[in-house]
Chain A
Amino acid sequence: MLTEVLQGSDSGGIVIIRDTSSYSGRDLLKYCINCALKREEDVHVLGFEVPEQELRSELDSNNKHLFHFHNAYSDPLGWRKQSSFTVEQFSAENITRLVRETKHAKASVLVIDSLSWIERHHNPVAICQQLHKLKKGGAIRTICCLLHMDLHQQGIVESICHLANTVITVTAVNNALYAEAKTTHRKKSGKVMQEEEFFTVMENLSLSIEKRPSQSGHAQVHSDAKVDPASNLTFNLRLSEVEREAKEKVALPFVFSQEKKSALLKKGQGSGRIIYEPDANDDFDEEDPDDDLDI
């Protein structure tokens, strides 16, 4: 489902890639950009976190002219007076204007790297409002954002993701080259689909998906044939037929069979009679206390 959602030409809407410091979602973001370029759509990137060269490298060379990087990395706050795009300019109107300035291809895709950077300078409510306006605006068909979940309170992450049609959460898998992606996709019909997949983004920005991780590290050998423990020994543990029958016939010591019961209930021959002379202090009762037992 990860591939369909990111390559999706039908969906549109907002896609949010959530990551943590242990695994960066930027590779997946680059894959998303590459897919949009292959679909011949205009891609506008608001780049706050990494410089242009880092995002532009490895992209599909055929449609590189459709890739527009709005540099918010070198001077996002105007400190150096050479800013191209500042964080203050993050608003639906400004972005729509920027997008309309460039010639239209089929449709426009807006990529935000990252929402976490913007959240440091804007109210989360304002961000949600602007994103909503952009979604409804019509100038942009798809908005693809990167969000670092571990840098915000859970409430903020959830409210921003609530706007999205698709939320992809990427986490690292212990010491593995691949990572895990949990995708939640909300279709236009309202149906919500979820899937967990394992993926790697290769050098040429192609996505390799595995449904289940291959257990290359610890090979669990499930032997189908049961191993016979009595084989390959220097002594014999097996039984012959005669021995087996004799074994079945042996009466087990604590099984209460009929013979044992009658042997116990038979009175002894008198060799073991007990003669008891009661003391003055003894309370000797002639009655048998077990008289009422019915064996």
Chain B
Amino acid sequence: MFPELNSILSSSPENFTEGEFILLSDRQADASFLIHHYLTFYLRARCRVCFLGLVQSFSHYSVVSQRLGVNLTQAKEKGQLVFLEALKASPGVLLGDESSDKTAALDYLRSPCPELRGLYEFVWNSLSRAGGEDAAESWGPPVLIIDDLSVLLSLGVSAGAILDFTHYCQATICSQLQGSMIALVRCDDEEYDEDEESSNYLLKALSHQCSLSLRVEGLSTGYCRDIHGQVEIWWRGRGIKNQRKIFQYKVHDKGASFFAPGTSRAVL
């Protein structure tokens, strides 16, 4: 987790808002550093985390989390982290191999399957058990992290089905279990038409539902070695609580630094 981001968002592993739906998005940049932040943040906060890794393998996140000071393998063994390794399990599902409980989660690969109900059942089963067999360890509120949703669009799932899935996740995890949900949507500038099956549409629809939105964009002036891009943080609330702030950031080996636009150490 990134301490600077924690202070910007006024949250810490000891004290964070519950029941939040945090929407991460990027356009011409890579917001996955925020995924690593939230994964390590909630593991440090002793929450039960269900991670849907649809685009990278477990070892990828494990290596990065190691640098941020969290051991994913240990968390998985203790039962704190439930990791869906979709990349590894997908060939099995596509080729119709042996069925395990994981394959029901990847039902969307078997076309024509319009809904992500299987994936939702997997999430529900992972997070609804409070403690489960290991009653000695009582974990905090459940957290769902999805990396990422736009790949589902490429795999043939309709935007409506994805929105139904996120609706159910939000209704159960955020509202009922008072946990949090973090989802990443990656957008492409080329799909700027009003296509109802594009990531832009998904982003707009999810913006209506989220409580906090972090939009990562590359700098409009192009690539810069010292400033990797900018993040727009939007607290969606009513009246005064509705605030937008823009920060620029740079990703390091062991973290990321955030600063007000124009105040990068390289520039000042």
Q: Give residues in A with beta carbon < 8 Å to B.
A: 21, 24, 27, 49, 51, 73-77, 79-80, 120-121, 148, 150-151, 153, 177, 200-203
Contacts and interface: CB of A to CB of B under 8 A. Distances in A.
Interface of B: 115, 117, 120-121, 124, 160, 163-164, 167-168, 171-172, 175-176, 194, 196, 201, 204-205, 207-209, 236, 238-240
A151 B204 contact: yes
Interface pairs A-B: 7 shortest CB-CB: A21-B207, A120-B160, A51-B175, A21-B208, A74-B171, A150-B204, A151-B205
- Chain A interface helix/strand/loop/mixed: loop
Given A51-B171, A177-B239, A177-B240, A148 B164 contact: no
B209 to A, nearest CB: 7
Given A51-B171, A120-B160, A201 B238 contact: yes
A79 B168 contact: yes
- Chain B interface helix/strand/loop/mixed: helix
B205 A73 contact: no
A74 B201 contact: no
A203 to B, nearest CB: 8
Nearest to B244: A175
B126 to A, nearest CB: 15
A190 to B, nearest CB: 33
Nearest to B159: A120
Given A148-B208, A151-B208, 13 more contacts: A49-B209, A51-B175, A74-B172, A74-B176, A77-B115, A77-B168, A80-B168, A120-B160, A121-B160, A151-B201, A151-B204, A177-B239, A202-B239
A153 B168 contact: no
A121 B158 CA distance: 12
A1 B175 CA distance: 36
Contacts of B168: 75, 77, 79-80
B194 A153 contact: yes
Nearest to A175: B244
A17 to B, nearest CB: 13
A73 B175 contact: yes
Contacts of B204: 21, 150-151
A7 to B, nearest CB: 21
14 contacts: A21-B208, A24-B208, A51-B175, A74-B171, A74-B175, A75-B171, A79-B168, A80-B124, A80-B168, A120-B160, A148-B208, A177-B239, A200-B239, A202-B239
Contacts of B236: 24
Contacts of A24: 208, 236
B156 to A, nearest CB: 17
A21 B239 CA distance: 15
A202 B240 CA distance: 11
Contacts of A51: 171, 175
A214 B74 CA distance: 58
A27 B171 CA distance: 20
Contacts of B196: 153
Contacts of B201: 151
B149 to A, nearest CB: 16
A73 B117 CA distance: 16
B238 A73 contact: no
Contacts of B164: 77, 120
Contacts of B172: 74, 80
Contact of A79 (B117, B160, B175, B239): B117
A76 B167 contact: yes
A164 to B, nearest CB: 20
A80 B115 CA distance: 14
Contacts of B124: 80
A200 B240 CA distance: 11
A121 B176 CA distance: 24
A153 B171 CA distance: 27
A73 B171 contact: yes
A27 B167 contact: no
Nearest to A77: B164
The interface centre, meaning the residue of B117, B120, B121, B208 with most chain A CB atoms within 10 A of its CB, is B208
A253 B136 CA distance: 104
Nearest to B168: A79
A177 B239 CA distance: 6
Contact of B163 (A80, A120, A177): A120
Nearest to A203: B239
B194 A27 contact: no
B144 to A, nearest CB: 16
